Every structure is written in structure tokens, then in C-alpha cells.
């Protein structure tokens, strides 16, 4: 039998009490959703995501930023969860306790069947009033771009965390608690470049967890993790979990 995965890794997974998973854009790449590292295509090719995903960009050109998110919502609507999302959803049934934390705003983990997803950076399918800071899930389409809050008339914005904005405190606290408590921490499809999310795998390692990175490419934390599994998450995760928990 080809020993594909280190046997110590498989034993660690089988004995895990609490597994935490942090995902980034790479877990949705096989669903056809461009990552932040991918060059933007077509209409958006002349912009860098870091430039558009800011309140400054929205203040400067709310229509442009709203249309970028509308385009991304359309890409997500046409995408489907991939085997990587499905494997993570299945993992919840294989371990005593799973905490799933995502940096993604596409909602694909939920569509794959994961529940209690901790969304550190919000969700592209939710919109909120810029003045009241409250979610708005329905509005009259009278041609305004961005649309306006039906209660107060201010612009709506995507309910995501832009660069320079604070993360939702409850989500971040929950993620940090899991990083301290877990005995296995997966870091899947993230360049580990954006803080404070990028601190989580290091927190887990310092707390004594086995940290497993799954990424097509090496990242800045590849040298700091216990196992760095190179490849596509949609390929590696199903095979790893099948090896650890043979049916």
C-alpha cells in the first residue's frame, strides 16, 4: 500500500478531541471563484482587490465598489461547493468537536452543509445600511446603485469586513478560543497574509496543537506548521479523511 499520508498524522487525526479549520480563498478556487492572489479578470483586471475592499474606495466611488460585489455575488451564485467544502462538512461527523472558521465571504461552506460557520470577514450575500449599521435584506430596486436603505435612505454596503476595518469581535473571539483549545488546527487554502486571521495557526501551534497546512503552494507559514500538505484542497482533504477514517 502506498503510504500516502504519514501514519503519525492519521493517528493524530483519529485521536483528535477538538479540530479547528481555518479556510481562505483557496478552498473555493476549485469552485471557480478567483482567489485574492489570482489576477482580477476582465472588467476588474485594472483593480487590485485590496484597493476595492476598503471603505475609502466605497466613499470615493460607491457605485464601482457595489458593482464589484454584485459581480462577485453573481460568480458565487453560479458556483457550487467543491469536494474540499464537502470533506470539511463531513469532518464535523468524524470528530468529537469541530470549529470551522473562514476568511471567505462566499457562503460555500454553508451550501456544502457545514453549520456554525465562523465568518471572520462577513458574507457577500448580506447588505447593511451604512448609517444605521443594520442588515437590510429587502429593498425596492428603483435604479439606485448602490441601493438605498428603505428606512433612512442612506447607501447600502456589503456586510463584509474591509481592509482597515475591525473584525466582528464575537467571531474573532470564538476563533481565538478555538485556536487555543484545539489539538489539531487545519489551515486550508490561505496565503496567511491577512491579519488578524493569519495569527490563528500560530496561536494554535504555540498552544501545542498539531498544525496542518493544505495549500497548492508554499506560504509564509509553511515552515512553522507541523505538516504542510502540498496540493489542491478538493483533492487532498477527501483522501486524507478517507485514510484517517476508513469506512
Query: Which residues are known catalytic residues?
Result: 121
- Closest residue by beta carbon to ligand BV8: 26
Strands 122-129 and 135-136: antiparallel
Q: For residues 52-71, which are near ligand BV8 according to CB under 6 A?
A: 53
Closest alpha carbon to 125 in 72, 183, 50: 72
- From candidates 99, 114, 210, 233, binder to ligand BV8 by CB under 6 A: 233
Strands 210-215 and 156-160: unpaired
Examine residue 146 and say whether the peptide bond preceding it is cis (omega within 30 degrees of 0). Answer: yes
CB of 234 to ligand BV8, least distance (A): 6
The full length of the chain comes to 247
CB of 91 to ligand BV8, least distance (A): 16
The strand pairing partners of 175, in sequence order, are none
Distances 200 to 17, 48, 120, 221 between C-alpha atoms, Å: 18, 25, 11, 11
Stretch of 4-12, 141-149, 177-185, 230-238 lying at the interface with ligand BV8 (CB under 6 A): 230-238
- From candidates 73, 126, 180, 216, binder to ligand BV8 by CB under 6 A: 216
DSSP 139-150: ---SS-SS-B-T
In angstroms, the first-to-last Cα distance of the chain is: 17
Dihedrals φ, ψ of 180, to 5°?
-75, -30
- C-beta of residue 239 within 8 angstroms of C-beta of residue 4: yes
Report d(CA 175, CA 134) in Å as an integer.
Answer: 23
Stretch of 9-17, 107-115, 139-147, 189-197 lying at the interface with ligand BV8 (CB under 6 A): 189-197
- From candidates 95, 108, 130, 197, binder to ligand BV8 by CB under 6 A: 197
Stretch of 6-14, 108-116, 175-183, 209-217 lying at the interface with ligand BV8 (CB under 6 A): 209-217
Stretch of 6-14, 170-178, 194-202, 203-211 lying at the interface with ligand BV8 (CB under 6 A): 194-202
Contacts of 182 (CB under 8 A, 6+ apart): 18, 19, 20, 99, 204, 207, 209
163 binds ligand BV8 (CB under 6 A): yes
87 binds ligand BV8 (CB under 6 A): no
CB of 213 to ligand BV8, least distance (A): 9
- Sketch the per residue contact string, 29 through 48, with ligand BV8: x for CB under 6 A, - otherwise: xx----xxx-----------
Report d(CA 65, CA 175) in Å as an integer.
Answer: 28
Q: For residues 123-162, which are near ligand BV8 according to CB under 6 A?
A: 160-162
- Sketch the per residue contact string, 9 through 28, with ligand BV8: x for CB under 6 A, - otherwise: ---------------xxx--
Task: Give me the residues that bind ligand BV8 (CB under 6 A), please.
Answer: 24-26, 29-30, 35-37, 53, 103, 105, 121, 160-166, 189-191, 193-197, 214-217, 219, 232-234
Amino acid at each position: 500500500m502506498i503510504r500516502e499520508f504519514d501514519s503519525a498524522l492519521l493517528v493524530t487525526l483519529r485521536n483528535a478531541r477538538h479540530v479547528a479549520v481555518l479556510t481562505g480563498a483557496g478552498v473555493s478556487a476549485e469552485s471557480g471563484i478567483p482567489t485574492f492572489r489570482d489576477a482580477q479578470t476582465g472588467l476588474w483586471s485594472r483593480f487590485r482587490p485590496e484597493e476595492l475592499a476598503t471603505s475609502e474606495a466605497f466613499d470615493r466611488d460607491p457605485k464601482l465598489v457595489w458593482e464589484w460585489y454584485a459581480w462577485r455575488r453573481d460568480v458565487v451564485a453560479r458556483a457550487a461547493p467543491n469536494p474540499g467544502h464537502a470533506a470539511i462538512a463531513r469532518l464535523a461527523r468524524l470528530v468529537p468537536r469541530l470549529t470551522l472558521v473562514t476568511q471567505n465571504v462566499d457562503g460555500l461552506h454553508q451550501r456544502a452543509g457545514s453549520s456554525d460557520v465562523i465568518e471572520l470577514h462577513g458574507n457577500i450575500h448580506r447588505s447593511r445600511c451604512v448609517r444605521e449599521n443594520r442588515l437590510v435584506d429587502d429593498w425596492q430596486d428603483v435604479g439606485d446603485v448602490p441601493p438605498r436603505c428603505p428606512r433612512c435612505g442612506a447607501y447600502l454596503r456589503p456586510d463584509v469586513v474591509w481592509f482597515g476595518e475591525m473584525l466582528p469581535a464575537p467571531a474573532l473571539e470564538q476563533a481565538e478560543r478555538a485556536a487555543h483549545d484545539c489539538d489539531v488546527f487545519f489551515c486550508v487554502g490561505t496565503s496567511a497574509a491577512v491579519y488578524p486571521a493569519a495569527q490563528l495557526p500560530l496561536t494554535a501551534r504555540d498552544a501545542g496543537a498539531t498544525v496542518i497546512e493544505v495549500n497548492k503552494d508554499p506560504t509564509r507559514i509553511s515552515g512553522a506548521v507541523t505538516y504542510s500538505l502540498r496540493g489542491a484542497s478538493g483533492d487532498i482533504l477527501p483522501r486524507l479523511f478517507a485514510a484517517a477514517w476508513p469506512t
